[in-house]
Structure 1
Amino acid sequence: MDEPIATQRRLGRGMIALAWIAALGVLWLFFEDSLERRAHPNRDLQVAPGASELVLQRNRAGHYVAPGTINGQPVVFLLDTGATQVSVPAHLGAQLGLAPGAPMQVMTANGAVTVRATVIDELGLGPFRAVRVRGHLNPGFRDDQVLLGMSVLKHLEFTQRGDTLILRPQAR
């Protein structure tokens, strides 16, 4: 008689443990998504057809990051007015269709780095497109963010209000 009761108790404890694991899994997914949204608030950026401006929210680190494309492939740009050119992590070069060119020295916040020159056939950021953009492949970058430097940003007008950055084509 005691054996069925013991079996039921074990099953009950197992079900309670599974319920806790499921609850913790749901909480983990919720908080992971919440943290990702704070790190990349513009990840689901929607741009209306014919739009002439791009509105970005600052992330929790104080940077503006936005989804875009290089040669039709999706990337995440970190807007960097301190960067002269577009700086692509070298490990992304092949999948983005970028050919490594001549080596060159660039100055970064971490000192001098040898990079490989490249030309980006097409770059997209929201409603904006640029062709034949000079950039470089940087072997020092470990993550997948692409620094969007002044070789592209110089063609845009910036307006910053609070944690919002509005980009428009430069008036001619």
Structure 2
Amino acid sequence: MAVRRGILALALLHSLTCRVYAADVEVLALFGERAMLRIDGEKHLLRKGQSTPGGIRLLDVSTEGASIEIDGDDRYYPLGVRVRAHHRAPDTEEVQIWRDPSGMFRTVGSINGLPVKFLVDTGASSVAMNSAQARRLGIDFRVIGEPAAVMTASRLERVYRVRLDTVKVGAITLRNVEAVVLDGAQPDSPLLGMSFLGRLQMANEGRRLTLSRIR
């Protein structure tokens, strides 16, 4: 079905439930306290105590193998031996955002429970909004904010640094998100910057931007 022009964005939400599957695990190489693992064909170089994005953790390394934790079950894996282990994949929250006709990623969401229309901006270090938007959201930035100055594309701007209780886009809600309020009319739309995006996994696939988080 064709997407009608003029629609700013469509966000498709996917709730992926936990699933149990057999993971192929192999210890490929050992480097002191690090190990190169191959899990379902994908290589991961982990230091002792680190985990893969899927939650498989390297517990210890010896000269002949590695101890690995999968779903709370500790097991020793000899070097060069492929073992099939049952693994419960973690729940993932995912949002897909589509480019609008102007080529920008825009999506609806909320700040502190109140609705907003975000412009996704990976060049912005923080979530950002203008003073009128902050007042509509009940953010008394002159009282709770920390005065500062930032360089925008055109000039030095006075801002107030604040902390947002919640920022939500689709199924993804993050708490205690850093934001800045610009003392003026810019930006036109609240910017969904890296203080939110940087806490997620992002995949830019041309017309579609996928945001995801493992719970």
Relative to the length of structure 2, the TM-score reads: 0.56
Structure 1 or 2: larger helix share? 1
Give unmatched runs, 5+ long, in structure 2. 17-91
CA contact (8 A) 1:89 1:137 kept: yes
Q: Secondary structure at the match of 2:103?
A: coil
1:120 has 2:164 as partner = yes
1:62 has 2:103 as partner = yes
Residues in 1 aligned to 2:202 and 2:185: alpha-carbon distance in whole angstroms:
26
Closer/same/farther in 2, CA of residues 74 and 144 from structure 1, 3 Å limit: farther
Q: Secondary structure at the match of 2:124?
A: coil
Q: Percent identity?
A: 31
Residue in structure 2 matched with residue 36 of structure 1 by the alignment: 6
**1:47 maps to amino acid:** L
Alignment of 1:20-169 (within 5 A): 36-37=6-7, 40-42=8-10, 45=11, 47=13, 52-100=93-141, 101-142=145-186, 144-169=188-213
**1:41 maps to amino acid:** A
Measure how far apart 1:46 and its partner are. Answer: 5.1
CA contact (8 A) 1:98 1:119 kept: no
Q: Secondary structure at the match of 1:145?
A: coil
* Superimposed CA distance per residue, residues 13-67 of structure 1 (whole angstroms, 9 cap, x where no aligned partner): xxxxxxxxxxxxxxxxxxxxx5531xx032xx45356662111111122211100
Q: Secondary structure at the match of 1:94?
A: helix
CA contact (8 A) 1:99 1:118 kept: no
Relative to the length of structure 1, the TM-score reads: 0.69
Aligned length: 134
**2:110 maps to amino acid:** T
Residues in 2 aligned to 1:148 and 1:41: alpha-carbon distance in whole angstroms:
14
Give unmatched runs, 5+ long, in structure 1. 1-33
Closer/same/farther in 2, CA of residues 105 and 162 from structure 1, 3 Å limit: same
Residues in 1 aligned to 2:161 and 2:189: alpha-carbon distance in whole angstroms:
18
Structure 1 or 2: larger strand share? 2
Query: Highest CA radius of gyration, 1 or 2?
Result: 1
Residues in 2 aligned to 1:96 and 1:157: alpha-carbon distance in whole angstroms:
27
Q: Is the deviation greater in 142-151 or in 120-129?
A: 142-151
* Superimposed CA distance per residue, residues 63-92 of structure 1 (whole angstroms, 9 cap, x where no aligned partner): 111000001110011111111111012101
